[in-house]
Amino acid sequence: MIGTFKQKNAGNALFLLVYALILKFSMFIHPVMPVLHKDDNYLYQLIFKVLDSFFHSSPVFFSVLSFIIIFTQATLFNRICNHQKILPKPNFLPGMSYILVTSLLPDWNHFSAPLLINSIMIWIWYKMTALYNNNRPDATIFSISILTGIVTLLYIPALFFLALVFLALLIMRPFRIREWLMGLLGFTFPYYFLFIILYITGNWSWKNIIPSVTVTLPGMPHSIWVTLGIMLLVIPFIIGGYFVQANLTKMLIQVRKSWSLLLLFLMVAIFVILINCADSYENWIVTALPFAAFHSAAYYYAPEKKLPLIMHWITFAFIIWINYLL
């Protein structure tokens, strides 16, 4: 399996779809109807209500939509990793890892605001990696900031992804105050339209604008299976991080900066999940993108063929167990 996805073969795109269906087909057997949470912001509430009214609260529809979104994210993420040369040779390991990672916790298969955020964050990360050799970065920084502002209109705790924008500017660009101001301006741009809409509809109030934010530690996992899922998320990440560190000197400067940005992405995403802790693990999916990148590095760089095979099949068997046999 690892050897197959380690090659850049056009047929692997179809194989990745089959692979995703095997791991996630339980979504269609036991569909879950999504619900609105207190941290879901105006844009997601609108999207959810439109879809819910149009498809008459069908959980099967939302499961199909979630699968399409996750598979699209995996394919797009894989393509961007190959384009940015995150790994030395083009392959399908990032896409495979994203499918695996998003299957470790059943809540990550639910349609939710954090799931939609990941689609935008993939584009944001791609644009951030392109800042290094950009001679005219103002438009790129502005678009990154606008996308980050849109993300916060989907999910309130995503407000702290603004920190990732400024961290990316620190890593990818020499310090220029104009670029930082451009980033701040772009972030507030979507809110101009929100203010206008709220004013026209008579809902203008500072209480509707200023979010309530509290930082709390998440509770202990409610079952051994969640604990094992988190372990299978963290252990390959640590192994992948070790291999990335060991191979940094062989990478181009831009690739090294991209890996640093992924690590910062993960740190900010972990902080995001600590904001207004939810009663489910749906919001934890904002960490899936950087985790998948480091997992793919663990599968790619491992010198012994047995190590990635063992990691993969243990993870694969665990996912089959929790999704089909529990």
Q: Which long-range contacts (CB under 8 A, 24 or more apart) does 20-25 make?
A: 20/67, 20/70, 20/71, 20/74, 20/99, 23/99, 23/100, 23/103, 23/316, 23/319, 23/320, 23/323, 24/67, 24/70, 24/99, 24/103, 24/109, 24/323
Q: Return phi, psi of residue 208, to 5°.
A: -80, -10
**pLDDT at position 296, please?**
93
Query: What is the Cα–Cα distance from 81 to 132, expressed in whole angstroms?
Result: 16
The DSSP annotation for 95-128 comes to: HHHHHHHTTSSGGGGS--HHHHHHHHHHHHHHHH
Domain chopping of the chain, boundaries: 2-325
**pLDDT at position 67, please?**
95
For tokens 């990732």, the residue is 164
> Residue 294 carries which side chain, given as an amino acid letter?
F
Query: What is the Cα–Cα distance from 263 to 251, expressed in whole angstroms?
Result: 16
8 Å CB contact between 158 and 147: no
Nearest partner of 24 among 80, 58, 74, 79, judged by Cα: 74
**pLDDT at position 55, please?**
82
Query: What is the Cα–Cα distance from 270 to 291, expressed in whole angstroms?
Result: 11
Note the pTM of the prediction, 2 decimals. 0.92
Binned average pLDDT, 10 residues per bin, the chain of 326 residues? 78 89 90 85 89 85 94 94 90 94 91 93 92 84 93 90 92 88 89 82 69 68 84 94 90 89 93 78 90 94 84 92 83
8 Å CB contact between 114 and 155: yes
**pLDDT at position 290, please?**
95
**pLDDT at position 276, please?**
66
